[in-house]
Structure 1
Amino acid sequence: MDGLDLLKQHWNKDGDFPKVNKEEIRRMLYKSSSSLAKWIFFVSVIELFLGLAFNAWFFFFSDVEMGRDTDPLWLKIIDQSINVISYVITFYFIYTFFQAYYKIKNTNNTKDLLNDILASRKTVNQYISFNIYLIIISLTIGSISFIIEKHIFDKSTGEMMLYAIFTIIAVSIMGFFIIKLMKFYFRLIYIRLVNKLDKNYDELVQLED
Protein backbone atom coordinates (compact mmCIF):
# COMPACT_ATOMS: atom_id res chain seq x y z
CA MET A 1 0.00 0.00 0.00
CA ASP A 2 1.51 3.35 -1.03
CA GLY A 3 1.39 6.61 0.89
CA LEU A 4 -1.63 7.88 -0.99
CA ASP A 5 -3.67 4.76 -0.23
CA LEU A 6 -2.64 4.97 3.41
CA LEU A 7 -3.76 8.57 3.66
CA LYS A 8 -7.08 7.82 1.99
CA GLN A 9 -7.69 4.88 4.30
CA HIS A 10 -7.12 6.99 7.39
CA TRP A 11 -8.57 10.21 6.00
CA ASN A 12 -10.38 11.90 8.86
CA LYS A 13 -10.86 8.49 10.48
CA ASP A 14 -8.05 8.07 12.96
CA GLY A 15 -7.65 10.77 15.57
CA ASP A 16 -3.91 10.11 15.81
CA PHE A 17 -3.46 10.36 12.05
CA PRO A 18 -2.88 13.76 10.40
CA LYS A 19 -6.09 15.22 9.05
CA VAL A 20 -6.15 15.52 5.29
CA ASN A 21 -8.73 17.60 3.49
CA LYS A 22 -10.17 17.06 0.04
CA GLU A 23 -7.84 19.52 -1.63
CA GLU A 24 -4.76 17.73 -0.29
CA ILE A 25 -6.11 14.39 -1.46
CA ARG A 26 -6.81 15.93 -4.85
CA ARG A 27 -3.26 17.28 -5.12
CA MET A 28 -1.84 13.88 -4.24
CA LEU A 29 -4.04 12.25 -6.89
CA TYR A 30 -2.80 14.79 -9.43
CA LYS A 31 0.81 14.04 -8.49
CA SER A 32 0.23 10.28 -8.57
CA SER A 33 -1.44 10.46 -12.00
CA SER A 34 1.43 12.56 -13.34
CA SER A 35 3.95 10.01 -12.07
CA LEU A 36 2.05 7.11 -13.67
CA ALA A 37 1.81 8.92 -17.02
CA LYS A 38 5.54 9.66 -16.81
CA TRP A 39 6.35 5.98 -16.32
CA ILE A 40 4.18 4.99 -19.28
CA PHE A 41 6.16 7.46 -21.39
CA PHE A 42 9.54 6.31 -20.04
CA VAL A 43 8.80 2.61 -20.60
CA SER A 44 7.75 3.24 -24.20
CA VAL A 45 10.99 5.16 -24.85
CA ILE A 46 13.06 2.36 -23.33
CA GLU A 47 11.24 -0.15 -25.53
CA LEU A 48 11.99 1.94 -28.61
CA PHE A 49 15.71 2.14 -27.87
CA LEU A 50 15.87 -1.58 -27.10
CA GLY A 51 14.13 -2.27 -30.41
CA LEU A 52 16.55 -0.03 -32.29
CA ALA A 53 19.53 -1.66 -30.57
CA PHE A 54 18.24 -5.14 -31.38
CA ASN A 55 17.64 -4.25 -35.03
CA ALA A 56 21.12 -2.73 -35.29
CA TRP A 57 22.69 -5.85 -33.81
CA PHE A 58 20.55 -8.06 -36.03
CA PHE A 59 21.56 -6.13 -39.14
CA PHE A 60 25.31 -5.95 -38.48
CA PHE A 61 26.02 -9.23 -36.72
CA SER A 62 23.32 -11.75 -37.56
CA ASP A 63 23.92 -14.24 -40.31
CA VAL A 64 20.17 -14.69 -40.57
CA GLU A 65 19.65 -11.17 -41.86
CA MET A 66 22.58 -11.46 -44.25
CA GLY A 67 21.23 -14.74 -45.52
CA ARG A 68 17.92 -13.33 -46.69
CA ASP A 69 19.22 -12.66 -50.20
CA THR A 70 16.88 -15.40 -51.40
CA ASP A 71 13.89 -13.19 -50.62
CA PRO A 72 12.39 -11.56 -53.71
CA LEU A 73 12.56 -7.80 -54.05
CA TRP A 74 8.85 -7.32 -53.38
CA LEU A 75 9.11 -9.14 -50.04
CA LYS A 76 12.15 -7.10 -49.01
CA ILE A 77 10.29 -3.89 -49.89
CA ILE A 78 7.27 -4.98 -47.84
CA ASP A 79 9.50 -5.99 -44.92
CA GLN A 80 11.41 -2.70 -44.89
CA SER A 81 8.24 -0.68 -45.40
CA ILE A 82 6.62 -2.33 -42.40
CA ASN A 83 9.75 -1.63 -40.34
CA VAL A 84 9.64 2.05 -41.26
CA ILE A 85 5.89 2.32 -40.68
CA SER A 86 6.17 0.53 -37.33
CA TYR A 87 8.81 2.98 -36.12
CA VAL A 88 6.78 5.96 -37.32
CA ILE A 89 3.74 4.67 -35.44
CA THR A 90 5.88 3.93 -32.37
CA PHE A 91 7.22 7.49 -32.40
CA TYR A 92 3.63 8.70 -32.66
CA PHE A 93 2.63 6.71 -29.57
CA ILE A 94 5.67 7.96 -27.66
CA TYR A 95 4.78 11.53 -28.57
CA THR A 96 1.19 10.88 -27.47
CA PHE A 97 2.37 9.42 -24.16
CA PHE A 98 4.56 12.47 -23.62
CA GLN A 99 1.64 14.76 -24.39
CA ALA A 100 -0.51 12.89 -21.89
CA TYR A 101 2.19 13.17 -19.24
CA TYR A 102 2.65 16.88 -19.94
CA LYS A 103 -1.08 17.58 -19.78
CA ILE A 104 -1.60 15.59 -16.58
CA LYS A 105 1.43 17.19 -14.96
CA ASN A 106 0.33 20.74 -15.74
CA THR A 107 -3.43 20.55 -15.33
CA ASN A 108 -5.18 22.18 -12.41
CA ASN A 109 -8.66 21.25 -13.50
CA THR A 110 -10.19 17.99 -12.30
CA LYS A 111 -12.41 17.61 -15.36
CA ASP A 112 -9.42 18.00 -17.67
CA LEU A 113 -7.44 15.50 -15.61
CA LEU A 114 -10.26 12.96 -15.82
CA ASN A 115 -10.38 13.38 -19.60
CA ASP A 116 -6.59 13.03 -19.82
CA ILE A 117 -6.69 9.81 -17.80
CA LEU A 118 -9.36 8.37 -20.11
CA ALA A 119 -7.32 9.41 -23.15
CA SER A 120 -4.18 7.80 -21.70
CA ARG A 121 -6.02 4.54 -21.09
CA LYS A 122 -7.32 4.54 -24.66
CA THR A 123 -3.86 5.25 -26.08
CA VAL A 124 -2.26 2.46 -24.04
CA ASN A 125 -4.87 -0.03 -25.28
CA GLN A 126 -4.22 1.08 -28.86
CA TYR A 127 -0.46 0.74 -28.32
CA ILE A 128 -0.87 -2.80 -27.00
CA SER A 129 -3.10 -3.77 -29.95
CA PHE A 130 -0.60 -2.25 -32.39
CA ASN A 131 2.26 -4.32 -30.99
CA ILE A 132 0.25 -7.54 -31.11
CA TYR A 133 -0.77 -6.91 -34.73
CA LEU A 134 2.85 -6.10 -35.55
CA ILE A 135 3.92 -9.48 -34.16
CA ILE A 136 1.33 -11.24 -36.31
CA ILE A 137 2.48 -9.38 -39.44
CA SER A 138 6.14 -10.12 -38.67
CA LEU A 139 5.41 -13.82 -38.23
CA THR A 140 3.51 -13.84 -41.52
CA ILE A 141 6.43 -12.24 -43.38
CA GLY A 142 8.83 -14.66 -41.70
CA SER A 143 6.70 -17.58 -42.84
CA ILE A 144 6.65 -16.34 -46.43
CA SER A 145 10.43 -15.85 -46.31
CA PHE A 146 10.88 -19.40 -45.01
CA ILE A 147 8.68 -20.83 -47.76
CA ILE A 148 10.63 -18.96 -50.44
CA GLU A 149 14.00 -19.90 -48.93
CA LYS A 150 13.11 -23.59 -48.96
CA HIS A 151 11.86 -23.36 -52.57
CA ILE A 152 8.67 -25.07 -51.51
CA PHE A 153 6.85 -24.22 -54.74
CA ASP A 154 9.53 -26.10 -56.71
CA LYS A 155 8.85 -29.33 -54.84
CA SER A 156 6.28 -31.99 -55.51
CA THR A 157 2.68 -31.49 -54.42
CA GLY A 158 3.12 -33.85 -51.46
CA GLU A 159 6.27 -32.14 -50.22
CA MET A 160 4.72 -28.74 -50.76
CA MET A 161 1.69 -29.68 -48.67
CA LEU A 162 3.93 -31.14 -45.96
CA TYR A 163 6.05 -27.99 -45.76
CA ALA A 164 2.96 -25.78 -45.77
CA ILE A 165 1.33 -27.71 -42.93
CA PHE A 166 4.57 -27.76 -40.95
CA THR A 167 5.06 -24.02 -41.43
CA ILE A 168 1.49 -23.19 -40.42
CA ILE A 169 1.68 -25.35 -37.30
CA ALA A 170 5.13 -24.09 -36.28
CA VAL A 171 4.26 -20.43 -36.82
CA SER A 172 0.92 -20.81 -35.06
CA ILE A 173 2.54 -22.38 -31.99
CA MET A 174 5.35 -19.84 -31.94
CA GLY A 175 2.91 -16.98 -32.47
CA PHE A 176 0.65 -18.24 -29.69
CA PHE A 177 3.46 -18.28 -27.13
CA ILE A 178 4.96 -14.97 -28.29
CA ILE A 179 1.60 -13.21 -28.08
CA LYS A 180 0.94 -14.79 -24.67
CA LEU A 181 4.33 -13.57 -23.49
CA MET A 182 3.72 -10.08 -24.87
CA LYS A 183 0.28 -9.91 -23.26
CA PHE A 184 1.83 -10.94 -19.94
CA TYR A 185 4.46 -8.22 -20.32
CA PHE A 186 1.89 -5.57 -21.20
CA ARG A 187 -0.33 -6.68 -18.34
CA LEU A 188 2.64 -6.54 -15.96
CA ILE A 189 3.75 -3.07 -17.05
CA TYR A 190 1.17 -1.04 -18.94
CA ILE A 191 -2.07 -2.51 -17.63
CA ARG A 192 -0.78 -2.22 -14.09
CA LEU A 193 -0.05 1.47 -14.61
CA VAL A 194 -3.38 2.04 -16.34
CA ASN A 195 -5.24 0.29 -13.53
CA LYS A 196 -3.64 2.68 -11.07
CA LEU A 197 -4.70 5.58 -13.27
CA ASP A 198 -8.23 4.16 -13.30
CA LYS A 199 -8.12 3.99 -9.52
CA ASN A 200 -7.11 7.64 -9.36
CA TYR A 201 -9.92 8.42 -11.80
CA ASP A 202 -12.48 6.77 -9.51
CA GLU A 203 -11.10 8.59 -6.48
CA LEU A 204 -11.29 11.94 -8.27
CA VAL A 205 -14.88 11.26 -9.30
CA GLN A 206 -15.75 10.49 -5.68
CA LEU A 207 -14.11 13.71 -4.53
CA GLU A 208 -16.17 15.69 -7.01
CA ASP A 209 -19.47 14.11 -5.87
Structure 2
Amino acid sequence: MDELELLKKDWKNQEEGLPKLSYNEIYKMILKKSSSMVKWIFIISVLEFILWSSIDVIVRLSGHYDELEVHGLEGFSIFTTILSYSILMYFMVRFYLNYRNIQTTDSAAVLMKNILNTRKTVKQYVWINIGFLALTTLIIIMYMAFYTDAYNSKSTDQEVPAYLIIITSLIVVAIFLGLLVLLYRLIYGILTRKLKKNYEELQKLEV
Protein backbone atom coordinates (compact mmCIF):
# COMPACT_ATOMS: atom_id res chain seq x y z
CA MET A 1 0.00 0.00 0.00
CA ASP A 2 1.56 3.32 -1.04
CA GLU A 3 1.64 6.60 0.85
CA LEU A 4 -1.47 7.95 -0.85
CA GLU A 5 -3.51 4.89 0.10
CA LEU A 6 -2.38 5.22 3.70
CA LEU A 7 -3.41 8.87 3.75
CA LYS A 8 -6.82 8.04 2.29
CA LYS A 9 -7.35 5.27 4.82
CA ASP A 10 -6.35 7.64 7.61
CA TRP A 11 -8.63 10.34 6.21
CA LYS A 12 -11.67 8.06 6.12
CA ASN A 13 -11.12 5.80 9.13
CA GLN A 14 -9.23 7.88 11.65
CA GLU A 15 -10.03 7.73 15.33
CA GLU A 16 -11.50 10.65 17.22
CA GLY A 17 -8.96 13.02 18.67
CA LEU A 18 -6.41 12.48 15.90
CA PRO A 19 -5.74 15.30 13.43
CA LYS A 20 -7.91 14.86 10.33
CA LEU A 21 -6.59 15.01 6.80
CA SER A 22 -8.65 17.37 4.71
CA TYR A 23 -9.81 17.00 1.12
CA ASN A 24 -7.22 19.61 0.10
CA GLU A 25 -4.39 17.64 1.70
CA ILE A 26 -5.35 14.50 -0.18
CA TYR A 27 -5.70 16.50 -3.39
CA LYS A 28 -2.25 18.09 -2.94
CA MET A 29 -0.71 14.65 -2.47
CA ILE A 30 -2.26 13.42 -5.74
CA LEU A 31 -1.18 16.63 -7.48
CA LYS A 32 2.40 16.20 -6.28
CA LYS A 33 2.56 12.58 -7.44
CA SER A 34 1.00 13.38 -10.83
CA SER A 35 3.37 16.30 -11.38
CA SER A 36 6.36 14.07 -10.61
CA MET A 37 5.21 11.40 -13.07
CA VAL A 38 4.65 13.89 -15.90
CA LYS A 39 8.06 15.43 -15.20
CA TRP A 40 9.62 12.00 -15.61
CA ILE A 41 7.75 11.48 -18.89
CA PHE A 42 9.29 14.73 -20.14
CA ILE A 43 12.78 13.79 -18.89
CA ILE A 44 12.59 10.34 -20.54
CA SER A 45 11.51 11.90 -23.85
CA VAL A 46 14.53 14.24 -23.72
CA LEU A 47 16.85 11.31 -22.99
CA GLU A 48 15.27 9.37 -25.85
CA PHE A 49 15.85 12.31 -28.21
CA ILE A 50 19.52 12.39 -27.17
CA LEU A 51 19.80 8.61 -27.64
CA TRP A 52 18.30 8.54 -31.15
CA SER A 53 20.33 11.61 -32.18
CA SER A 54 23.54 9.99 -30.95
CA ILE A 55 22.78 6.74 -32.78
CA ASP A 56 22.03 8.67 -35.97
CA VAL A 57 25.32 10.59 -35.76
CA ILE A 58 27.33 7.43 -35.04
CA VAL A 59 25.71 5.54 -37.95
CA ARG A 60 26.36 8.42 -40.34
CA LEU A 61 29.99 8.77 -39.25
CA SER A 62 30.53 5.02 -39.62
CA GLY A 63 29.43 5.21 -43.26
CA HIS A 64 26.37 2.95 -42.99
CA TYR A 65 24.27 5.55 -44.82
CA ASP A 66 26.53 5.33 -47.87
CA GLU A 67 24.51 2.44 -49.31
CA LEU A 68 21.34 4.53 -49.22
CA GLU A 69 23.12 7.29 -51.13
CA VAL A 70 24.36 4.80 -53.72
CA HIS A 71 20.78 3.64 -54.36
CA GLY A 72 19.38 7.16 -54.67
CA LEU A 73 17.84 7.40 -51.22
CA GLU A 74 19.95 10.26 -49.91
CA GLY A 75 17.11 12.79 -50.31
CA PHE A 76 14.62 10.43 -48.67
CA SER A 77 17.07 9.84 -45.81
CA ILE A 78 17.46 13.58 -45.17
CA PHE A 79 13.69 14.14 -45.33
CA THR A 80 12.88 11.32 -42.88
CA THR A 81 15.65 12.43 -40.51
CA ILE A 82 14.31 15.99 -40.37
CA LEU A 83 10.75 14.70 -39.95
CA SER A 84 11.71 12.27 -37.16
CA TYR A 85 13.55 15.01 -35.25
CA SER A 86 10.55 17.30 -35.70
CA ILE A 87 8.21 14.65 -34.29
CA LEU A 88 10.45 14.09 -31.26
CA MET A 89 10.82 17.82 -30.59
CA TYR A 90 7.08 18.41 -30.99
CA PHE A 91 6.22 15.80 -28.36
CA MET A 92 8.96 17.01 -26.02
CA VAL A 93 7.28 20.41 -26.08
CA ARG A 94 3.88 18.77 -25.51
CA PHE A 95 5.20 16.82 -22.52
CA TYR A 96 6.76 19.95 -21.06
CA LEU A 97 3.51 21.90 -21.46
CA ASN A 98 1.59 19.04 -19.82
CA TYR A 99 4.01 19.22 -16.91
CA ARG A 100 3.58 22.98 -16.60
CA ASN A 101 -0.20 22.67 -16.77
CA ILE A 102 -0.32 20.09 -14.00
CA GLN A 103 2.03 22.15 -11.83
CA THR A 104 -0.33 25.13 -11.98
CA THR A 105 -3.54 23.11 -11.53
CA ASP A 106 -5.81 24.43 -8.78
CA SER A 107 -8.79 22.07 -8.86
CA ALA A 108 -9.44 18.33 -9.01
CA ALA A 109 -11.55 18.65 -12.15
CA VAL A 110 -8.77 20.43 -14.07
CA LEU A 111 -6.17 17.98 -12.77
CA MET A 112 -8.28 15.07 -14.02
CA LYS A 113 -8.47 16.71 -17.44
CA ASN A 114 -4.70 17.29 -17.51
CA ILE A 115 -4.02 13.69 -16.55
CA LEU A 116 -6.22 12.47 -19.42
CA ASN A 117 -4.46 14.85 -21.83
CA THR A 118 -1.06 13.59 -20.71
CA ARG A 119 -2.01 9.93 -21.16
CA LYS A 120 -3.44 10.73 -24.59
CA THR A 121 -0.23 12.53 -25.59
CA VAL A 122 1.91 9.58 -24.51
CA LYS A 123 -0.19 7.14 -26.55
CA GLN A 124 0.06 9.41 -29.60
CA TYR A 125 3.81 9.70 -29.11
CA VAL A 126 4.35 5.95 -28.92
CA TRP A 127 2.19 4.98 -31.88
CA ILE A 128 3.30 7.82 -34.15
CA ASN A 129 6.95 6.93 -33.49
CA ILE A 130 6.36 3.23 -34.11
CA GLY A 131 4.22 3.91 -37.19
CA PHE A 132 6.75 6.35 -38.65
CA LEU A 133 9.65 3.95 -38.14
CA ALA A 134 7.68 1.02 -39.59
CA LEU A 135 6.55 2.99 -42.65
CA THR A 136 10.01 4.42 -43.32
CA THR A 137 11.70 1.03 -43.05
CA LEU A 138 9.06 -0.65 -45.23
CA ILE A 139 9.48 2.01 -47.95
CA ILE A 140 13.27 1.56 -47.97
CA ILE A 141 13.02 -2.25 -48.17
CA MET A 142 10.40 -2.16 -50.94
CA TYR A 143 12.30 0.48 -52.91
CA MET A 144 15.56 -1.44 -52.75
CA ALA A 145 13.77 -4.70 -53.59
CA PHE A 146 11.80 -3.49 -56.63
CA TYR A 147 13.67 -0.44 -57.94
CA THR A 148 17.33 -1.39 -57.41
CA ASP A 149 19.49 -4.47 -57.79
CA ALA A 150 20.50 -4.45 -54.13
CA TYR A 151 18.65 -7.62 -53.12
CA ASN A 152 19.33 -9.38 -56.42
CA SER A 153 23.07 -8.80 -56.08
CA LYS A 154 23.00 -10.06 -52.48
CA SER A 155 21.10 -13.17 -53.52
CA THR A 156 23.69 -13.84 -56.24
CA ASP A 157 26.62 -13.42 -53.84
CA GLN A 158 25.03 -15.53 -51.10
CA GLU A 159 23.22 -18.03 -53.34
CA VAL A 160 19.96 -17.20 -51.54
CA PRO A 161 16.75 -16.25 -53.41
CA ALA A 162 16.01 -12.52 -53.39
CA TYR A 163 12.49 -13.04 -52.04
CA LEU A 164 13.93 -14.90 -49.05
CA ILE A 165 16.24 -11.98 -48.28
CA ILE A 166 13.27 -9.60 -48.47
CA ILE A 167 11.14 -11.78 -46.17
CA THR A 168 14.03 -12.11 -43.71
CA SER A 169 14.51 -8.33 -43.69
CA LEU A 170 10.82 -7.79 -42.98
CA ILE A 171 10.84 -10.36 -40.15
CA VAL A 172 13.90 -8.75 -38.55
CA VAL A 173 12.26 -5.31 -38.76
CA ALA A 174 9.00 -6.68 -37.30
CA ILE A 175 10.89 -8.23 -34.37
CA PHE A 176 12.77 -4.97 -33.75
CA LEU A 177 9.53 -2.96 -33.81
CA GLY A 178 7.88 -5.47 -31.49
CA LEU A 179 10.71 -5.12 -28.99
CA LEU A 180 10.49 -1.34 -29.29
CA VAL A 181 6.75 -1.45 -28.55
CA LEU A 182 7.42 -3.58 -25.46
CA LEU A 183 10.11 -1.14 -24.33
CA TYR A 184 7.76 1.82 -24.77
CA ARG A 185 5.01 0.00 -22.88
CA LEU A 186 7.44 -0.80 -20.08
CA ILE A 187 8.88 2.70 -19.72
CA TYR A 188 5.91 4.93 -20.49
CA GLY A 189 3.29 2.33 -19.54
CA ILE A 190 4.35 2.28 -15.89
CA LEU A 191 4.00 6.04 -15.61
CA THR A 192 0.69 6.26 -17.48
CA ARG A 193 -0.81 3.45 -15.37
CA LYS A 194 0.14 5.37 -12.24
CA LEU A 195 -1.47 8.48 -13.72
CA LYS A 196 -4.60 6.46 -14.42
CA LYS A 197 -4.63 5.34 -10.78
CA ASN A 198 -4.35 8.98 -9.67
CA TYR A 199 -7.24 9.85 -11.98
CA GLU A 200 -9.38 7.16 -10.36
CA GLU A 201 -8.47 8.45 -6.90
CA LEU A 202 -9.53 11.95 -7.92
CA GLN A 203 -12.85 10.57 -9.15
CA LYS A 204 -13.42 9.07 -5.69
CA LEU A 205 -12.62 12.39 -4.04
CA GLU A 206 -15.09 14.18 -6.29
CA VAL A 207 -17.95 11.83 -5.38
TM norm structure 1: 0.85
Distance 1:68 1:78 in 2: 9
Letter in 1 for 2:66: M
Q: Is 1:138 the equivalent of 2:136?
A: yes
Q: Which runs of 5+ in 1 are unaligned?
A: none
Letter in 2 for 1:96: R
Distance 2:53 2:6 in 1: 41
Equivalent residue for 2:7? Answer: 7
**Aligned residues of 1:41 and 1:98 also touching (Cα < 8 A):** yes
Equivalent residue for 1:167? Answer: 165
**Aligned residues of 1:70 and 1:149 also touching (Cα < 8 A):** no
Distance 1:18 1:40 in 2: 35
Using the TM superposition, give the Cα deviation of residue 101 of structure 1 relative to its aligned residue in structure 2, in angstroms. Answer: 0.3
Using the TM superposition, give the Cα deviation of residue 18 of structure 1 relative to its aligned residue in structure 2, in angstroms. Answer: 6.4
Equivalent residue for 1:40? Answer: 41
**Distance 1:141-1:31 versus aligned 2 partners, 3 A rule:** same
- CA displacement, residues 6-26 of structure 1 (integer Å, 9 cap, x when unaligned): 323443325498642221111
Distance 1:200 1:144 in 2: 45
Equivalent residue for 1:90? Answer: 88
SS in structure 2 at match of 1:167:
helix
| % identity of equivalent residues | 33
**Aligned residues of 1:37 and 1:101 also touching (Cα < 8 A):** yes
Deviates more, 1:24-33 or 1:108-117: 108-117
Distance 2:117 2:165 in 1: 40
Deviates more, 1:193-202 or 1:17-26: 17-26
Using the TM superposition, give the Cα deviation of residue 149 of structure 1 relative to its aligned residue in structure 2, in angstroms. Answer: 5.6
**Aligned residues of 2:95 and 2:118 also touching (Cα < 8 A):** yes
Letter in 2 for 1:24: E
Letter in 2 for 1:98: Y
Task: Please tell me the root mean square deviation across aligned C-alpha atoms, in Å.
Answer: 2.5
Letter in 2 for 1:126: Q
Relative contact order (C-alpha < 8 Å, sep 6+): which is higher? 1
Using the TM superposition, give the Cα deviation of residue 151 of structure 1 relative to its aligned residue in structure 2, in angstroms. Answer: 6.2
How many residue pairs get aligned? The number is 201
